Structure 1
Amino acid sequence: MARTSRSTSGYLKASHRELDERTTEGNPYHPHTRSVPVEPGKIEEYVLRLYPFANTFKPGHRLVVELSNDEPLADEHNALLPPDAFHLPVGRPVTHKIYRDAAHHSRLVLPFTRR
């Protein structure tokens, strides 16, 4: 039986996708100084910062990425997260289309260390 555990998470409100000059590979910086509406049908790149974590991946382990437009409710646990972790949901239904082809690359950048 496969065991599943959450290693980390990342959050980004689509209208706050703008990056600034402090952004580096694997460490995007969203200034949150203005809201840029999402144009329906327009393809956009969304770069999310994952919160730091440590895990040992052994042979046979799998890494699973889950994308969601669902925001967790505020509770005692996630009250400890940084203030940029959550944005107020707009409360209207949305549809996301993920492009993954030769013209639209998707990637996950994680820092790895070796013993």
Structure 2
Amino acid sequence: MGEFTLRQLEYFVAVLDHGSLTRAASESNISQAAASMAIAQLEKSLGLDLLIRTRAKRVEPTPAGVELGVRARRILRETAELRGALQGSHEDMRGRVSIGCMIAISPRLIPELIR
């Protein structure tokens, strides 16, 4: 199995959601050729046909495409949650802090540091 990207998975899910490469490309703000190439590269890297192209310029997922769709949605959801979790993690500092201060100046400094 070759490598594939999250972007390819996003485009693949968009194709499943919209039922056509043209509509998925439009919604993803890319050209139809770019969407088609991304799906072709994804199929090549997995060594599987993921979509069946119909005469009406619509696409239907193969059984492998259905399975990939389920897993791709989960991966993309987890990726979005990961970004959100990591973005907030550096703002909330937690844990024990030890402060050392000379006794003579501690009544003036420590209350302000604690606040």
Structure with more helix by fraction:
2
Q: Greater relative contact order: 1 or 2 (C-alpha under 8 angstroms, separation 6 or more)?
A: 1
User: Do Structure 1 and Structure 2 share a fold, with TM-score over 0.5?
Assistant: no
TM-score by length of 1: 0.18
Structure with more strand by fraction:
2
